[in-house]
Homo-oligomer: A and B are copies of this chain.
Amino acid sequence: MRFSRGRNFLFRVPEGEELLSFINRFVKENNVLIGTVSAIGSLRNPKIGYFDEKAGKYRVISLSGTYELVSLSGNISVKDGEPFAHIHVALGDSSGKLHGGHLIEGEVFVAEVFIGELLGEPLERKPQGNGLTLWDETRI
């Protein structure tokens, strides 16, 4: 739960890349095992998920067109032995209304991404039996 600071990356994802898979490739190639991630930009035809607690799975919401990437927040930890990005996004349409949820995919028009690496004990996602893979809970 407590970490020291590692490397800091601020970069632009190439236009046309799929954002989530690019971030996952980036952290794998740079061996970032724990960290935080944030970004702004603009995405084409994003798909977001709403996790339906009762159904135990994500409902997929497919948006079409280009959306402002108003916020992207998330973290990096280890899942199935590899670094894994868990990311939520807020997306603005042409009238300024916001849509959002769990990022499933989105084609990059523009993406300016910050990744702050954290160093310390492994932080690992494990299947929870409710459809999610999560870290152990921290109690106080």
Point out residues on A near B: beta carbons under 8 Å.
1-5, 7-15, 22, 25-26, 29, 34, 36, 38-40, 42, 48-53, 59, 61, 63, 66, 68-75, 77, 86-90, 92-102, 109-110, 112, 114, 118, 123, 132, 134-140
Q: Is the interface of A mostly helix, strand, loop or mixed?
A: strand
Set B36, B70, B89: member contacting A114, Cβ < 8 A: B36
Q: How far is the CB of A77 from chain B (nearest CB, A)?
A: 8
Q: How far is the CB of A88 from chain B (nearest CB, A)?
A: 4
A40 CB contacts on chain B under 8 angstroms: 73-75, 86-88
A42 CB contacts on chain B under 8 angstroms: 51, 53
Assuming the contacts A7-B2, A40-B74, asked whether A68 and B112 have C-beta atoms less than 8 A apart, the reply is no
Query: In the complex, what residue of chain B is closest to A99 when comparing beta carbons?
Result: B96
Query: In the complex, what residue of chain B is closest to A98 when comparing beta carbons?
Result: B98
Set B59, B109, B139: member contacting A53, Cβ < 8 A: B109
